[in-house]
Structure 1
Amino acid sequence: MDALTRILELARVRGALDLRCQLAGGFSLDHEDAGPGEAPFHLVLAGEGVMELPGRRTLDLRAGDLVVLPHGTSHRVRDTHGGLSEAPITIDTSGPLAIKRSEGEGEALDLLCGRFVHAPDAGPLLFASLPDTLHASLLGSHGIATLEAIVNVFRVEVGKLAPGALAVVTALSQALLVFALRAQLERGTMPPSLLTLLADPRLGRALLAMLRDPAHEWTVESLAAQAAMSRATFARHFEAKGKQSPHEVLTLIRMHLAAELLRRGELTAAAVADRVGYRSESAFGKTFLRIMGTTPARFRRDVD
């Protein structure tokens, strides 16, 4: 398993589709700040529109665009003319997916709206390091045939809404998140984080080694060997790309892996501590409290 897949798994990221919007003429839809552990997304199936963000920032929306709001930022989706002379919007809840519609001139903006839901405790492992918006033009990205096929599957499934359609698009939504993350990394606009470490071929090998064997007594030297780099070069590049030292990242990974084990409820706290490289249950408990904000016992009790 590659490192990004494992991070997504630890963060328990899953997609949830909320509604479809088919909006023509003048329209304006406001979206409030999302709740904890939620990152809204919009996928444009057809047409054009504009997203307004705090600070008077705007994003043009075109067919094939995916916008993810990692921190649940409030926003407005409107027509390209400023939302003037708005047409009445109706909502159809007769089918398995609610549809908002407005009538008017011009091609309708056909939009899928949903959320990426993640564990509040593990989500920051991925989402805290992301910018306010991820904006990817999927049809203009590398691998256009694959992306076009995925967007077309979305169109067909939500158009027919045959049995199991929502399960199909929910499963595909996580693939879209990966494409959006890749696009951000390729543009070189991602701030230093675990993701920028993952994107580096050599540093990513060291990160994957930590994920695969958290109980190993990793040192800067042994991690540098995984990356085929000298100790000094590895430490310098790691902190520049990750904004944390190798030891800090190792501790973060160990605590999130421990949280995953505690959720399962199959091992004692002492056994979990040993699995992630702590011979002292007391030292493990103190570190878990510092990183996760709660004790192992309370964490296990709260997720039951």
Structure 2
Amino acid sequence: MDPLSDLLEGVRARMAAFCQAILDPPWALRIADGAALALATTLQGHAWVVPDDGEPVLMRTGDVVIIKGPHPYNVSDDPATVPDYVVHHDNRLTTMDGTDVTDALRLGPRTSGLTRDGSAIVASGTYQIGSDVTERLLNALPPIVLVPAAEAQNPVMTLLAQEVGRDGPAQEIVLARLLDIALVTTLSAWFARPDAQAPGWYRAHGDPQAGPALRLMHDDPAHPWSVEALAAKVGCSRAALARRFTALVGEPPITYLTHWRMALAADLLRSSDLTIETIAHRVGYANAFALSVAFKRIRGVSPRQHRAGDRPAAV
């Protein structure tokens, strides 16, 4: 599996995560749902994404943005417009003074607004992420990713626009799956842009030496890989692989492998009841002691502390 696929494996849309707002100017929404990641697109009109500590980003019709949370931000018709409403977790809406207006503004399934004929329609979906593996992806993203309509338009975006207002059996599942695909295709489109400043592991994916080495480590992290073994598999010298991999990815192969193993171990510690010994074997360590030494060195806490909830920022 390639690194992007692995890092996206922990990202899944949640039920009731998708909604659309129909709006007339002047309008502004304060987004305070605490989501780790949000995807939004303008189905009609335009919208500005206005972070508290960054430059506003304009979304024209059909553009798609990915916004890295969990900090609040505004979405508005103009960067200067002051929000009237706050969007909370589970798409709950309040006025700025805290009055709940969710039901009063509901126009239909997953649709809110003051009118059905607004000049702007903004659709969005949010993700709550509890995966150390996926945090490696988040760390590679800028606060706001914008993919223009010409590069973002694909069948899944059209399907999302068609399905968002429908109600029926398993409709939330349909929307969640479409949203997952929309996120993957949007990220892929952004990473492929020349100005994207894609992370090293993405740039290395297409390299004839570093790319296969990356896939080997992702496919079988428990294997006792060495630079020599990886080089033999990809058909080059040890020195050539080490030089090429480090130049593209930004760190030597075994350093990358160690960090990848630590992310996998961190997820298993938090999401399973497996013993530390079993987890050690799954991620390439001989026993629990060896994993604990490496985990404490990289993460600053022991595996037991991490499992108990003492969780510093992912590496």
Same fold (TM over 0.5): yes
Cα-to-partner distance string for 1:252-273 (whole Å, 9 max, x where unaligned): 1112222344456464322321
State the Cα distance separating 1:128 from its structure 2 match: 0.9
Residue aligning to 1:127: 138
The 3-state SS of whatever aligns with 1:215 is coil
User: Partners in 2 of 1:270 and 1:132 — Cα distance?
Assistant: 38
Contact preservation (8 Å) 2:39, 2:183 = no
Letter paired with 1:79? D
In structure 2, the CA distance between the partners of 1:50 and 1:255, relative to structure 1 (3 Å rule), is same
Displacement of 1:42 in angstroms is 1.2
Partner of 1:231: 238
1:161-188 CA distance string (max 9 Å, x none) = 2232221111121212212221222113
Q: Which residue of 2 aligns with 1:185?
A: 191
Alignment of 1:1-304 (within 5 A): 1-9=1-9, 12-16=10-14, 17-32=17-32, 35=34, 38-54=36-52, 57-80=55-78, 82-83=80-81, 91=102, 92-93=105-106, 96-97=109-110, 99-103=111-115, 108-119=119-130, 121-137=132-148, 139-141=149-151, 144=153, 147=154, 149-188=155-194, 189-198=196-205, 200=207, 202-263=209-270, 265=272, 267-302=274-309
Deviations 1:44-103 (A, max 9, x none): 22222222234562222122221111244543222159538989x975347552x33145
Q: Percent identity?
A: 29
Determine helix, strand or coil for the equivalent of 2:192.
helix
In proportion to residue count, which structure has more helix?
A: 1
| Aligned partners of 1:190 and 1:196 also within 8 Å | no
Cα distance in structure 1, aligned partners of 2:260 and 2:44: 40
C-alpha displacement at 1:3, in angstroms?
3.6
Where does the alignment leave 5 or more consecutive residues of structure 1 unmatched?
A: none
Cα distance in 1, alignment partners of residues 69 and 238 from structure 2: 35
Deviation at 1:20, TM superposition (A): 1.6
CA distance in 2, matches of 1:193, 1:73: 26
Matching residue's letter, 2:293: K
Change (3 A) 1:56 1:254: closer
Residues 95 and 85 of structure 1: CA distance in aligned 2, closer, same or farther (over 3 Å)? closer
SS in 1 for 2:139: helix
SS at match of 2:297: helix
Change in Cα spacing, 1:85 to 1:115, as seen in structure 2 (3 Å) is closer
RMSD of equivalent CA atoms:
3.2
Do the aligned partners of 2:3 and 2:202 also contact (CA within 8 Å) in 1?
A: no
Shift of 1:21: 0.8
Distance 2:161 2:289 in 1: 53
Query: Does the 8 Å CA contact 1:4/1:198 hold for their aligned counterparts?
Result: no
Structure 1 Cα separation of the partners of residues 185 and 208 of structure 2: 18
Deviations for 1:182-241, whole angstroms, at most 9, x for unmatched residues? 122211322534333335454232111112222222122322344444433322332232
> Aligned pair count?
291
Q: Which residue of 1 is the match for residue 98 of structure 2? A: none
TM-score by length of 1: 0.81
Structure 2 CA distance for aligned equivalents of residues 264 and 77 of structure 1? 34
**SS of the counterpart of 2:197?**
coil
